[in-house]
Structure 1
């Protein structure tokens, strides 16, 4: 089933829009523009758009109970207060790898922050997936990663779903919510070359995965138990990067995109590349975002 009733959220184009997070308390959508190191905030009611510059590339953010953020920046994990405009370092597990940067990240059901890295020059296998615990200790969960991307946890908290984009796969691990241990890796969804590359993803109240397809012009909803593609949302930009549910009822799907790396002709053909889109009233709800 195709769904094409997307809307532009606001008149702004990111270079590499990513990592949308719904802030339920403030009823606003947050997302990042990785390359210029910006965190964006937009209130759908007041229409206020606010941009915070972190001073380095920013891959992902998560909301803490205080309302402040944990962020995966180019040089490690940081605590960020948008209200006070402060950036405080926590830990940099790749201080010895200056050619890497952090990419996608998300909180797990226990409130730990998971985020992965990649080479700025796309060197194969140069990245890893890390877990930042509440005590700010950092552990490596997956190594030999090329482009660490989408993360989601099953509704029963027994599985971690994970994407290393060039593999064109979504894999599942058995997940222990008490320790954060992952084991027993297996492929649950395989994409074809014509689909593009799986990027960011989110999970809905039915346990189905919504996966953004880089160079695929779409978001697809898939059943991770069968690999079946259930529906798709076709979009006016090729480089679709991630998605999350938001809105008062958590049934609006916010979708980020990018324009980085597109040729002049492609940019002319995709005037909305880099925009934030929303599909309202999808009829399906997301699940609340865990907080660190």
Structure 2
């Protein structure tokens, strides 16, 4: 338990580092610093980290072809060209809810971008989960969400897993991959007795879930068939936000974290809070999907 060696790979000092995704062609880890209004591209082999300032909260980033990403921001879905530094608004599902912002999101195997919202002050359950189709149309698929967070799909694509951090629950839906539809939400894992709140999530090649614990100093591995916790890996930061598998063999788990709310006197306990960490957990992961169907064939 927790003896696996977690290493700091980027001392990013991110206020709210989140949403890592792995680009296998570039061998790069994309991630966001939500409160610093930017996303970054990190090359683990060289240690280089490029920042792209967007100018508003960026909840999630997904790759969408060469030099293109799609972002889930405070003002909806937008595409960004990294070569030209141009931001293009696509659609804003919550233009009528100015006090909400997008949070975590991920693409499915058909290239659709699933992303959810939350109230910026995190008081009410005003959030929803949306799907951005590859033609830029969108649908609302789940509502009454506190803090929309981690998303993953079962290996057979029959189920979708989804975290509402505010409710401390991991939900499971029936999932129709062809139509991109979810149904029958039910609680899979209740975090009430766990340390911290469930945050970001990914799935490994054995179909087990990896969940980051906000205020819990760890990532944990769970069996979604039984809802049982299999193991926990300690992280030297309290606010662990998300995780994704990367590396040539998808055998490295990259972990993001946050410094938000950390007072100076506490920073001594966790000098690298807000950093990106990596560990080889002994299992391989699943590939990060890109936006737009043509990229996932």
Residue of structure 2 in register with 1:248 after alignment: 248
Residue of structure 1 in register with 2:56 after alignment: 56
Determine if contact 2:213/2:219 at 8 Å carries over to the other structure: yes
Distance between the aligned counterparts of 1:246 and 1:216, measured in 2?
Answer: 23
Residue of structure 2 in register with 1:289 after alignment: 288
Determine if contact 2:147/2:165 at 8 Å carries over to the other structure: yes
- Following TM superposition, by how much is the alpha carbon of 1:3 offset from its aligned partner in structure 2, in angstroms? 3.5
Secondary structure in 1 aligned to 2:266? helix
Provide the alpha-carbon RMSD of the alignment.
1.2
Secondary structure in 2 aligned to 1:278? strand
266-275 vs 131-140, greater mean Cα deviation: 266-275
Secondary structure in 1 aligned to 2:268? helix
What are the residue-to-residue correspondences of 1:1-292 with 2, within 5 Å? 1-279=1-279, 281-292=280-291
Secondary structure in 1 aligned to 2:78? strand
- Following TM superposition, by how much is the alpha carbon of 1:65 offset from its aligned partner in structure 2, in angstroms? 3.3
Secondary structure in 2 aligned to 1:12? coil
Determine if contact 1:122/1:146 at 8 Å carries over to the other structure: yes
Determine if contact 1:128/1:148 at 8 Å carries over to the other structure: yes
Note the alpha carbon deviations across 1:162-214, whole angstroms, 9 max, x for none: 00002211110001111111111111112134411000000000000000000
* Matched positions, count: 291
Which runs of no fewer than 5 residues in structure 2 stay unpaired?
292-297
Determine if contact 1:208/1:223 at 8 Å carries over to the other structure: yes
Distance between the aligned counterparts of 2:226 and 2:150, measured in 1?
Answer: 19
224-233 vs 202-211, greater mean Cα deviation: 224-233
Determine if contact 1:4/1:235 at 8 Å carries over to the other structure: no
74-83 vs 15-24, greater mean Cα deviation: 74-83
TM-score using structure 1 length: 0.97
Note the alpha carbon deviations across 1:269-292, whole angstroms, 9 max, x for none: 22111111011x332111111121
Distance between the aligned counterparts of 2:93 and 2:19, measured in 1?
Answer: 21
- Following TM superposition, by how much is the alpha carbon of 1:245 offset from its aligned partner in structure 2, in angstroms? 0.2
